[in-house]
Amino acid sequence: MRRGRTLGALGAAAGLLLAAGCGAPAAPDGPDPHSWSHPEQVRVTHLALDLEADFEARRLSGSVRLDLDRRDPGAPLVLDTRDLEIRSVRDGKGRPLQWRLGPARAGLGRPLAVELRPETRSVVVAYRTDPEAAALQWLDPEQTEGGRHPFLYSQSQSILARSWIPCQDTPSVRATYEATVRVPPPLMALMSAENPTEPAPDGVYRFRMPQPIPAYLMAIAAGELEFRPLGPRSGVYAEPEVVDRAAREFAETEEMMAVAESLYGPYRWGRYDILVLPPSFPFGGMENPRLTFVTPTVLAGDRSLTALVAHELAHSWSGNLVTNATWNDFWLNEGFTTYIEVRIMEALRGKEYADMLRALGRHALEEELDRLGRSSPDTRLALDLAGRDPDEAMTDVPYEKGRMFLERLERRFGRRAFDAFLRRYFDAFAFRPVTTKDFRHFLAAHLAKDDPEALEEAELWIDMPGLPEDSPEVVPEAFARVDRQFEAWRSGTPADRLDAGGWNTQQWLRFLGHLEDPVPVDRMAELDAAFHFTDSANAEILGAWLRHAVRSRYRAADARLEEFLLEVGRLKFLEPLYRDLSATEEGRARARALFERASPRYHPITRAAIRKILNDAGA
Ligand code: BES
Ligand code: ZN
């Protein structure tokens, strides 16, 4: 299971309307249900940020200048904000403008409406962020690898950019940006922009992002960081203790770029660098343009988890270049990206390896479909998230069902034709938003032009819940071998007599995927003695094992479980563990006690997600 939050957040909170502004709508009434903005009237085209990071107060403060494209001359500028303290709003010449904050809606924050003069072309908002800003995590030195300096990083997807920048926080609006950022030396500041490779002695950094990007790709980080080049256009930033290990893990990055370019056209962002964050980072990776953010749990030491880099790199085409117009079209970002991720890994490591990734993805999808219910509308590719938190779209469905749909098209039309089609799609929609409908039309106009039957099948994939019946399952020989060994163990062969020599990480994940909980405790102990799962240094293997340990009440893993929950903030691991713990009364008490200790170290996103799991479970 990739993550899978339980459903039903924003809608229930509709009653929480705070102080209503005069004439402001109570819910977004623009083209994107998750943004207050009206870009069809006034559109932001460029941002100039000037921010100072105050680690004591846990605030960013300063200003942003927003340059405008005024399509409807009489209309006000409407921005998204969340927990921002607005100090003043002026025009480009420094003259005060009239503004008001509308009512807050849970998750969506408050609209900031600014009355414009006829000649106004830009607006400067002076503001500061809240210490609890939902996008930002301020880490104490103890939470870093080095333990010497504090650390700050943002996570803007899906709709959290508004908690650190007043902006049009919808993926359908793109803007270029520049920024001046002040941090205390010797910290180095980085953004999703052109970046430094050395710390600035005065702590002042200037950034430029010449390609237009949507707000969810705005990103900032600051910490004690070093840089190592990986290739002519790529490199990695990390804390000094981690940076060389990271450079070895990601040594194939330049090769991944070359593969992706040969398939889908030139890389359009200049450089591709990776920033390794502290372990509290809530995701595996985040495709911030020019600077992918990754969890340190990907550093397995043997490059066994680097498909994650292929994934974030693939977003340089699907997502960052061609962008889902609203979060309802999230599969256009993640399904395409997962498809490309596997293609990149196939080129690097061969078809059998790629088929292992496909089979693991399929397994995760089947579990997710069982959890959601196969007729649930949330198992459709095209979603309806109005009134809900868009992060609820973050199930395996857009990722794996999306990938399988594209693989189905590939099989039908042949790889050559399908590759050409995708390349054409990226060129046609480059730097533009795309809806599911746009994709449908593009498919009908090109690949499926003379094939009504293929088009009909595509409609089913897009519109129907669940999985089409005839979706074939690939079982690579490497997994068939695992399956045979698992069968042998099930029918009595002792674990230490199994033929598991030389299995890779994916094969171990296949093996663990076969366990049906609750596994008798002595059987868990037998596996642990033979394969040392509790001591695994591979976060994916450990995460899968700990889940079985919780569900099967294998208490010998308790200390390791605690250590893991206190250190790691990655939701993919934490959500299932907390959910499984919460399934029993005794587990709920443990979960709550652990959460109380761990939550000050979690990112606000993680904190909110786990709190919700505990609340739903009555813990
Ligand atoms: N863009 C996503 C992360 C994301 C999605 C953050 C929605 C917030 C809301 C990123 O590309 C992603 O999919 N990350 C995966 C890793 C990947 C290998 C599947 C993750 O974090 O698990
Ligand atoms: Zn992704």
DSSP line for 272-332:
EEEEEPPTT-SSSEE--TTEEEE-GGG--SSSTTTHHHHHHHHTTTBTTTEEESSGGGHHH
Q: What Å distances lie between residue 215 and 13, 132, 156, 323, CA to CA? A: 24, 20, 8, 11
For residue 158 and ligand 1, the question of a CB distance below 6 A is answered with yes
pLDDT in tens, 496-513: 999 999 999 999 999 999
Q: What order of strands is seen across the sheet that includes strand 220-223?
A: 136-139, 151-154, 220-223, 188-191
Nearest CA residue ID for atom 17, ligand 1? 308
Distance 64 CA to ligand 1 centre (A): 28
Atom of ligand 1 nearest to the CA of 333: 1
Distance 186 CA to ligand 1 centre (A): 30
Six-digit token string for 92 = 């480009």
pLDDT at 363 over 70: yes
3-class secondary structure per residue, 547-597: HHHHHCCCHHHHHHHHHHHHHCCCHHHHHHHHHHHCCCHHHHHHHHHHHHH
Q: What Å distances lie between residue 264 and 124, 268, 322, 439, CA to CA? A: 39, 11, 12, 17
**What string of DSSP letters covers 387-413?**
TS-GGGG-SHIIIIIHHHHHHHHHHHH
Closest Cα to residue 205, out of 216, 226, 217, 220? 220
What does the radius of gyration of the chain's CA atoms come to, in whole angstroms?
24
Distance CA 452, CA 455 (A): 5
Distance 554 CA to ligand 2 centre (A): 33
Q: How confident is the model at residue 1 (pLDDT cuts 50, 70, 90)?
A: very low
Query: Which residue bears the tokens 């598991």?
Result: 500
CB atoms within 10 A of CB 62: 20
The catalytic site residues sit at: 312, 399
Distance 204 CA to ligand 2 centre (A): 32
Nearest CA residue ID for atom 16, ligand 1? 284
Distance CA 133, CA 156 (A): 11
Q: Measured in Å, how far apart are the chain's first and last C-alpha atoms?
A: 22
Task: Supply the pTM of this predicted model.
Answer: 0.96
Closest Cα to residue 527, out of 508, 543, 540? 508
For residues 246-265, average pLDDT:
98
CB atoms within 10 A of CB 442: 17
Q: How confident is the model at residue 338 (pLDDT cuts 50, 70, 90)?
A: very high
Q: What pLDDT score was predicted for residue 469?
A: 84
pLDDT at 200 over 90: yes
Q: What pLDDT score was predicted for residue 11?
A: 33
For residues 411-429, average pLDDT:
98
* Sequence-ordered alpha helix ranges (H) in 491-520: 505-514
Q: How confident is the model at residue 619 (pLDDT cuts 50, 70, 90)?
A: low
Atom of ligand 1 nearest to the CA of 337: 11
Nearest CA residue ID for atom 10, ligand 1? 286
For residue 308 and ligand 1, the question of a CB distance below 6 A is answered with yes
Q: How confident is the model at residue 392 (pLDDT cuts 50, 70, 90)?
A: confident
pLDDT in tens, 86-118: 999 999 999 999 999 999 999 999 999 999 999
Helices 415-428 and 253-264, packing angle to 10 deg: 90
Atom of ligand 1 nearest to the CA of 311: 18
Nearest CA residue ID for atom 3, ligand 1? 286
pLDDT at 8 over 70: no
Query: Which residue bears the tokens 């600077």?
Result: 291
Helix, strand, or coil (residue 2):
coil
CB atoms within 10 A of CB 526: 16
For residue 438 and ligand 1, the question of a CB distance below 6 A is answered with no
For residues 370-383, average pLDDT:
96
DSSP annotation of 348: H
Q: What Å distances lie between residue 437 and 324, 332, 398, 440, 614, CA to CA? A: 11, 11, 16, 5, 38
For residue 5 and ligand 1, the question of a CB distance below 6 A is answered with no
For residues 139-161, average pLDDT:
97
CB atoms within 10 A of CB 589: 13
Q: How confident is the model at residue 23 (pLDDT cuts 50, 70, 90)?
A: low
Distance CA 610, CA 282 (A): 11
Q: What pLDDT score was predicted for residue 30?
A: 86
Distance CA 51, CA 611 (A): 31
